[in-house]
Amino acid sequence: MPYLNASAARSARFWAARRHQLQTIGTTGGLFVTVLLAMALLLWVPNRALLPLAAVGLPIGYLLGLLQVVVFPWLVQRYPLQLAKLLQGLGHLLLLGLLYGGFRLVARWLGLPQLWSEPAPSTAGPLRHLLLVPIIYLLAVFVTSLMRQLLQGMSRRRLQQLLGGRYQQPETEDRIFLFVDLKDSTRLAEALGNEAYSRLVRDFFRDVSPAITATRGEVYQYVGDEVVVTWEAATGLRYANCLHCFFEMQRAINERQDYYQRQYGTVPRFKAGAHGGLVTTVLVGTAHRELVYHGDVLNTTARIQAQCNALGSWFLISEALRQQLGPQPEFQFTPQGGQLLRGKAGTTELLDVQEYLHVL
C-alpha cells in the first residue's frame, strides 16, 4: 500500500505539471480566438463566417501559445536575447501567413470577395486590405500576451476568487508555507558579480518552477534569492506535496547541473523550511494591489529555514506539520529537538527531512 500511494503521488505530480502547461497554451489559444472574433465583428464580417474563423483561429492560437510558453523560453535559454527575439519574430511571421491564408480560405469557401464589409468606397482598398490582416494579428497577439501576463501570477481558482470580490476583507485560512533560500548567496554574488549572479538566480527560479506547479503550489513571493511557496492545507498535505516540492526542486537542479557548471562554474544549493497553520489573507494597496498573508506562521517558517545552517540540514519542518502529514514511508524524519527560534518565547520541535532513495 505505501508503494501504491507513492506511485499515485508521482503520477499526480507528473500530470499536474503537464496539465498546467497545456492549460496555459489552451488559454492563450482561447484568448486569441476571442480577440479575433471581436475584431471580426468590428469589421462587419458576416455572421456565417464567425464559426469558420474560429475553426481557423483556434489552431493558430494554440501555435501562438506554444511559441510563447515553450519555444521562446527555450530559445532564451540557449541563444542571446536578440537572436531569440529574431527567431520569435520569424515564428510570428509564419503564424501571420497562416492567418492570412485562413482568411482567404474562409472567404472563398463562403463565396465572398473578402471577409469584411466596406462601410464606404475606398480608393486605397488594396493597400488597406493588405495591412488589415497584420493589424488584426498584432492586436490579437498584444491583447493575448497582456492577458497571459496578468493571469500568469495566479491560479485559475485564485483568479475566480479575486474576481468574485474575495479578500477585500481579511479572511482566515489554513495554509502551509515553504521558504526556499539559496545557500552561500553572499559568496556567490561576490564571486560572480551582480549581473552573472542575477542570471543564476533567474535560472534557478525558472528551473524550480515546474516543481512548484507539479505539487500544486503557488508562489507567494520572491524575496532576493528566496522563493516562498504556499498551499491551502488540504492541497499541501495531499500526497505530501509540501515535502515533495523541495525534493522535486532538487532533482530539477541536479538535471541541470552541467548547464550551471558551464555557465557559472557552480551548481546552486538551497535550504528550506516548512510549517503550517492559520493565517489572515487580505488584498492590500491602492496604486499596487497585492494579496498578502499575515500571521505568526510566516515568521515561524522563516525562522525554521534559518536554522538549517546551524543544524547542518537542507530541509527542516516543524513537529506540528509532521503530525498533520501522518505516515509518510517515502521520507525519513530525524528529530532535531526543541529549538529556540528568534522572536519566539518557547522552543519549537524541528525535524530534518530526507527522501528514501529505494522508493525512488
DSSP per-residue string spanning 15-45: HHHHHHHHHHHHHHHHHHHHHHHHHHHHTT-
DSSP code at position 114? -
Angle between helices 241-255 and 257-264 (to 10 degrees): 60
Least confident of 173-177, 239-243, 340-344: 340-344
Cα separation, 27 vs 66, in Å, equals: 11
Task: Return the CATH fold of 164-355.
Answer: Alpha-Beta Plaits (3.30.70)
pLDDT tens track for 51-98? 888 888 889 988 988 888 788 877 877 778 788 889 989 999 999 899
Asked if the model's pLDDT at residue 5 lies above 70, the reply is no
Domain ranges of the chain: 2-152, 164-355
Locate the DSSP E strands across 80-203. Answer: 171-182
Q: Give the predicted TM-score (pTM) of the model.
A: 0.75
Q: Quick one: pLDDT band at residue 1, thresholds 50, 70, 90? A: very low
Asked if the model's pLDDT at residue 297 lies above 60, the reply is yes
Closest by alpha carbon to 17, among 152, 216, 155, 224?
Answer: 216
Locate the DSSP E strands across 63-197. Answer: 171-182
Cα separation, 120 vs 342, in Å, equals: 75
Q: Under a CB-based contact definition with an 8 Å cutoff, are residues 63 and 39 in contact? A: no
Cα separation, 216 vs 287, in Å, equals: 30
Q: Write the single-letter amino acid at 292.
A: V
Return the pLDDT at 157: 64
Radius of gyration of the chain (CA): 25
Return the pLDDT at 120: 43
Closest by alpha carbon to 275, among 311, 247, 306?
Answer: 306
Cα separation, 172 vs 158, in Å, equals: 15
Burial class (CB in 10 A: 0-12, 13-18, 19+), 132: middle
C-alpha cell at 104: 482567404
Return the pLDDT at 151: 63
Cα separation, 102 vs 332, in Å, equals: 58
Give first-to-last CA distance, the chain, whole Å: 15
Q: Quick one: pLDDT band at residue 27, thresholds 50, 70, 90? A: confident
Q: Which residues contact 126 (CB under 8 A, 6 or more apart)?
A: none
Asked if the model's pLDDT at residue 166 lies above 90, the reply is no
Looking at every residue in the chain, the average pLDDT score rounds to 83
Return the pLDDT at 126: 57
Return the pLDDT at 121: 46
Least confident of 152-161, 173-182, 273-282, 313-322: 152-161
Q: Under a CB-based contact definition with an 8 Å cutoff, are residues 208 and 180 in contact? A: yes
